[in-house]
Amino acid sequence: MKSVSALILCMFFSIVVSADTIRMVVNNWTSQIVLTHVVAKLLEQQGTKVQLVESSVSEQWGALSHGVAHLQMEVWEGTMSAKFNRLVKAGRLSDLGSHQATTREEWWYPLYVEEFCPGLPDWKALKKCSAIFSKDGSNKGLYIAGPWEKPDEARIRALDLNFKVKVVSKGDDLWVELKKAHHKRTPIVLFNWTPNWVESRFEGKFIEFPDYAEACEKDPKWGVNPDFIHDCGNPKGGWLKKAAWSGFKQTWPCESVFIENISLSNQQISMLSAMVDVDGLSHEQAAAAWIDNNKKTWRMWLPKSCTYD
Ligand code: TMO
C-alpha cells in the first residue's frame, strides 16, 4: 500500500516537474544547436527548467504538435515552410515570430567550378556540364544533398537535369565533401545555405533556378515544364522563424514573450556557426562565449513587464 502511494506520488511529482520543463528541439546543423544552447541557458538564468531533446527536422513536427517537445529556434522557409504552415493553420503549432535574418537554402558550388562550367550560376548551364559532376565515369552528375527533406529528385525531373542525388547522413558530411573537392579543385555542387559559416571561408554561388513561387509546388502547368511541379528553385530572402507547441503561450506566458523578442541577424547566425565550424569550440563553449559577449543583445530580449515564477 505504502509503495503504491509512493509510486503514485512519484508519478504525480514527475508529471508536475516535467509539465513545467520546456523541452527544446536540438536539430542537426550548427547555428541551430548553438542558438538552442544559448536560449536554454538564458531561460535557466531566469529560473525556467529546460531540457534539450535531439530530433531530426522530419521528427520534430510530431513532437511539437503533441507537446512532446515545445520549442524550435530555427525553422527555415526553404526546407520547412510546407509542414510548418500546414501545422500552424491546423492550430497544432504556434508561430513565435521571425528572426530578422533572411535565408536561402539551395544548390551551391565553390567559385572555381565556373572555370569548368561556363554559364553558371544559371541552372541551364548544369544541363551541358552534368558530366563534370559525375563520380562514376558516366555523364550523370552527382548532387550532394543534406539530411533535410527537399524535393531534389522532383526538381531534377521537372527541369530535366541529368543528375542523381546523394544524401549524406550528417550535415557535417557536406563540409567534408566540400573541403575534399576544394583541395583538389574538382567540380562539386552541393546543398548549402545562408547565413552559414561557409560564406566566411569559401567563395561560391547558389545555382539560379527559376524563381520560386508557391504555384510551382502545386500547379504542374506553372513554369518551364507544363507536366511537373517543382520546376523552380527555393525561395530567396526566405524567413527564419521560431516555432512552439500550440500550448506554449498559455503555459509559459513570460517565456513566450522572451522567445518572441529573440531576433538574430544574418551576421549573428553565421557567427554562431563559425564559432564551432571554424574556430573549433564545442556547442556549449560557443553558447557560453556568445552569452558573455552579447549581454546588450540578450538583455533587450528579456520581457520588461513580466516576472518569471
Ligand atoms: C535547415 N538548413 C539550414 C540546414 O537548411
Answer yes or no: do 97 and 111 share one domain: no
Q: How far is the CA of 105 from the centre of ligand 1 (A)?
A: 7
The x, y and z cell numbers of residue 96, run together, are 513565435
Answer yes or no: do 41 and 53 share one domain: yes
Convert 168-206 to b/e letters by CB count within 10 Å (16 or more is b).
beebebbbeebeebbeeeebbbbbbbbbbbbbeebebbb
Answer yes or no: do 212 and 242 share one domain: no
Ligand 1 atom closest to Cα of residue 80:
1
- Is residue 292 pLDDT above 70, yes or no? yes
The reply to whether 87 falls in a domain is yes
What does residue 74 show for φ and ψ, rounded to 5 degrees? -140, 95
Residue 232 CA to residue 248 CA, distance in Å, equals: 36
The reply to whether 232 falls in a domain is no
Residue 247 CA to residue 251 CA, distance in Å, equals: 6
Residue having the nearest C-alpha atom to atom 4 of ligand 1: 29
What does residue 151 show for φ and ψ, rounded to 5 degrees? -80, 55
Which range marks the domain in which residue 167 is found?
104-217
Tell me which of 26, 27, 29, 266 to substitute to probe ligand 1's pocket, judged by most ligand atoms within 8 Å of the beta carbon: 29
Q: How far is the CA of 117 from the centre of ligand 1 (A)?
A: 26
Tell me the CATH number at 169. Answer: 3.40.190.100
pLDDT for 112-163, tens place per residue?
999 999 999 999 999 999 999 999 999 999 999 999 978 899 999 999 999 9
Answer yes or no: do 53 and 127 share one domain: no
Q: Are 290 and 38 in contact (CB under 8 A)?
A: yes
pLDDT for 13-71, tens place per residue?
444 445 589 999 999 999 999 999 999 999 999 999 999 999 999 999 999 999 999 99
Reference 103, options 275, 240, 210, 267; nearest CA is 240
Give 276's strand partners. Answer: none
Residue having the nearest C-alpha atom to atom 1 of ligand 1: 76
Q: Are 203 and 180 in contact (CB under 8 A)?
A: no
Q: For 66, what's the count of Cα atoms within 13 Å in the CB-facing half-sphere?
A: 6
The reply to whether 141 falls in a domain is yes
The reply to whether 290 falls in a domain is yes
Residue 104 CA to residue 158 CA, distance in Å, equals: 21
Q: How far is the CA of 146 from the centre of ligand 1 (A)?
A: 8
Q: What total of structural domains would you count in the chain?
A: 2
Query: Which SS3 state, helix, strand or coil, does residue 117 take?
Result: coil
Ligand 1 residue neighbourhood (C-beta within 6 Å):
29, 76, 79, 105, 146, 148, 193
Ligand 1 atom closest to Cα of residue 146:
4
Answer yes or no: do 258 and 287 share one domain: yes
Reference 264, options 101, 40, 34; nearest CA is 101
Answer yes or no: do 69 and 118 share one domain: no
In angstroms, the Cα distances linking 10 to 3, 48, 215 are 10, 21, 53
Answer yes or no: do 87 and 113 share one domain: no
Answer yes or no: do 210 and 244 share one domain: no
Q: How far is the CA of 276 from the centre of ligand 1 (A)?
A: 16
Tell me the CATH number at 82. Answer: 3.40.190.10
Ligand 1 atom closest to Cα of residue 31:
3
Q: How far is the CA of 14 from the centre of ligand 1 (A)?
A: 35
Q: How far is the CA of 241 from the centre of ligand 1 (A)?
A: 12
The reply to whether 117 falls in a domain is yes
> Which of residues 185, 217, 249 is at a domain's end?
217
The reply to whether 35 falls in a domain is yes
**pTM for the model:** 0.91
Ligand 1 atom closest to Cα of residue 191:
5
The reply to whether 289 falls in a domain is yes
Q: How many CB atoms lie within 10 A of CB 300?
A: 11
The reply to whether 305 falls in a domain is no
Lowest-pLDDT choice from 107-111, 134-138, 179-183: 134-138
- Is residue 12 pLDDT above 70, yes or no? no
pLDDT for 67-101, tens place per residue?
999 999 999 999 999 999 999 999 999 999 999 99
Answer yes or no: do 203 and 250 share one domain: no
> Which of residues 217, 248, 274 is at a domain's end?
217
Q: How far is the CA of 44 from the centre of ligand 1 (A)?
A: 26
Answer yes or no: do 89 and 118 share one domain: no
Ligand 1 atom closest to Cα of residue 57:
1
Answer yes or no: do 108 and 87 share one domain: no
Convert 101-129 to b/e letters by CB count within 10 Å (16 or more is b).
bbbbbbbbbbebbbeebeebbebebbeeb
Reference 161, options 207, 193, 118, 111; nearest CA is 207
> Which of residues 159, 185, 217 is at a domain's end?
217
Answer yes or no: do 114 and 206 share one domain: yes
Q: How far is the CA of 112 from the centre of ligand 1 (A)?
A: 24
